[in-house]
Structure 1
Amino acid sequence: MQITRSLRRVVLGLVLAVPMVGCGPKKIPAAAADQVVHEIRSRKLPRALQARFQIRVESNGQSGSTKGAIITHVPDQFRLEILTPLGTPMLSVASNGTAVHAWSQQLNTFFRGDDALAVLSELTGGAVTMSDVLQLLTGGLPLPDAPVLETTAREEGVWLVLAGPSDVRVRALVSPKKRLVRRVEIGRAATAESAEMVDLVAVFDVSDHMRIDGALYPEEMTIDIPPLGWTLELTFHTWDELGQIPAVFEMPVPPGANVADLEQTLRKAA
């Protein structure tokens, strides 16, 4: 008798969600793990989203918090606005997918990043692309073509190890029943065959989600970037789908602004 697709998905969810009893972690069948990853990667993400959030930044023993907003346009464009406590612009960051620039109104300085990949390399060691970052911020998995290298079931969920290019590894904790990504660790492995990371470059930890129009988005997220010593704590207040895509992803140099190199600025901050 042929089993329907819906029944297969229910059975798969039950198999992966059952708490493991015994003396240690249990390996998950490769086909089942691949299916979970496929369904997370296949989620329908709106072409353009806008989110408002509270952000707290910790770096080198100093910390501060303020408000902000972000507009995303898949696969790799975004506009980020960080506001002062009074609601006036403090820092704007925009990427058209190729370049990424930042404009500090308080410093009257335009930070030019003509090569978005080079800028990301300073942040994450070249482990992820701009489209990967947008996936992570909206609750998805990075490296869409990376195969599943290893899977382990524990009480907190299923841990997946994805094998990216150049020995990049992504270790992700997912809730298989709800298809939620709860934690993503990004780093590099010692060898092409190894699943263990020896160089951690970023951690995205999602502690809570909110439901918007039937879809789940991050509500509480912590981002750690060990190479820079940064910790970002984000509390998202809203996620809204935009029917019309705004033209906000290009950022020209403001008249009279000082110009600095964004890549070099990030390198000095490390």
Structure 2
Amino acid sequence: METYLNHPLAPYTTVKIGGPADTFIITNTTAEFIEALKKYQNVTILGNGSNVLISDSGIRGTVIKNMSNSIEYLPNNQVKVDSGVNLPLLITDTINHSLSGLEEFAYIPSSIGGAIFGNIHGINKNNFDRFLTEIQVFDLEQSKTYSLKSNILKWSYDTSEFATKPNLIILSAIFQLTPGDADTSRQKVIDIITKKLQTQSMNSLGSVFKNLPARTGHPADFAGRIIDQELNLKGFQIGDAQISPLHGNFILNLGHATAADYYAVVKKIQSEAKSKLNITLEPEIKFLGNFS
């Protein structure tokens, strides 16, 4: 376990934005992760930092960077995975073990814990919970570890029950996969990444807004299409934060963007969507720290 004071958080996010943590802890095993959770109060968990905007003033209290990295192959095509494992690494590893299912989540730079918490969706419109059977958690209120069956938890598009129960910290999960041809799976991943590279940049937080579900008089719609074609905001920029010229639902850091810049672009999009289209765009990313 490593401990740092007043430690910058920007390097630990995909968008490279954010102020310092009062106390920053790096844990490398589940045992260390649990030890830190028991020791520190007012804790924020940081996975891969791929969908969180950290304020310029940083995060008060303790931030734990969870880097637990165990992958254990079980009978019946199941895999037990620590929450700190990177999703791209897990996809590669399961393919190497001739297991299929997670390929559609290629090019999503999430940790497993973050992917479960946000119940991310793949290109085939499957949500992450489809592949989960059991989740091990640490309960901050009871200070103990236990397992939850996935089918008793509440899941929905881009969110999970964990979002409403901050006392439950994800430690690991068991996935149910299926046998598959490794070469076929690898080619599928290559095809997905090749397509995403045409419009999606890694100097961002991925999709900023959730897509819109069907509503009275309107079909389901993509947030990116609305921002691109209805609001004509593609390329709009404040400071060094820019709406991607290639994809309206991505906001890029052109080099020196601040969290204030990025947040201002988010609010601009929401304001335009509401005033011009009477649409409320709900953020898919999380905001950590003070944005008032």
Q: TM-score, normalised by structure 1?
A: 0.24
Structure in which a larger fraction of residues adopt strand? 1
The structure, 1 or 2, with the larger RCO (C-alpha pairs under 8 Å, 6+ apart) is 1
Q: TM-score, normalised by structure 2?
A: 0.23
Structure in which a larger fraction of residues adopt helix? 2
